[in-house]
Amino acid sequence: MPNHAAAAPPSVETEAGLLDHLSWSGVTTYLQCPKKFNYRYLTDTPEERKSAALLFGGAFHRAAEVALQARLEGRPFPALAELLAEYDRAWQEESAEAAEIVFAKGDDAASLHGLAERMLSAFTQHLEAEVRAAPHRRILALEHEDRFRLLPDTPPVEARLDLLELDGADLIVSEIKTSKSRWNEQKVAEALPQLVVYAHALMPLLREVGAKRIRPRFVVVTKAKTPVVHVLEPQATQADVLRLREQVGEVWKGIRAGVFPARDGWWCTACPFRTACQGR
């Protein structure tokens, strides 16, 4: 897929080099804890630990992508054993690089493997149902990366889109999420800016493929004894767009000014830079 990158963005010089773009994960990291952003994106500080939940999410995505790749190529969906094998490879690769893995209470690698099996089964059943319901929908790209200009005085924002599909006049962009439970209205509202980012990123592509509208959605797979897949298509308002612009502008202002205070919260427990932050 084409990359619609903005040219000559403003940048900030850091000890680690040049920061010439922002990502949505970077923006949310800064909003959560500016000091964590500094460690991760600017000074390239080594991670001391990794959250098992993050490892699980990444490994699940790798396995889900194998199923989607088969659909893209017009092949039958892989057997569950093949998807689990990809999950295991991803888990082993990422965990091998972690000095310490922080598990939630009651979890371990074996219990998460069992959870992955149940969730991948539910996800494959969801994909099969979508093929039956919309046989003419076709996948345009998986893990599509794009950069676009959100504000004139900030670097371009980089978006990485899990799944792009074309269904008639609709350009559908899906973000695949794993969650402990079904999302409520508050969770949807918290995640909505990500969809606003994606809608901005896809405007050039919308015209290129001849689509009439963008349909961003979240595909949420629950981490339950019996996992369920929920598809959410929240609609962004103009107020949501203005809020997003304000957030990105304020984050970039803080980065350029070198403002990186620590912000304590529940996230500190599994923070990969906890020891460095506490000066130990």
pLDDT digits (tens, 9 = 90+) for 59-108: 999 999 999 999 999 999 999 999 999 999 999 999 998 889 999 999 99
Domain ranges of the chain: 19-278
CA angle (195, 139, 128) in 5-degree steps:
100
Comparing CA positions, the residue from 186, 80, 62 lying closest to residue 125 is 80
Could you give the CA distance from residue 68 to residue 71 in angstroms, rounded to a whole number?
5
DSSP annotation of 266 reads G
pLDDT value, residue 41? 93
- The DSSP bridge partners found for residue 141 are 164
Q: What is the DSSP letter of 235?
A: P
Which residues in 132-160 are b (16+ Cβ under 10 Å) and which e?
eeeeeeebbbbebebbbebeeebbbbbbe
Which pLDDT band, with edges at 50, 70 and 90, does 230 fall under?
Answer: very high
Specify the CATH number of the domain 19-278.
3.90.320.10
Q: What is the mean pLDDT of residues 40-55?
A: 91
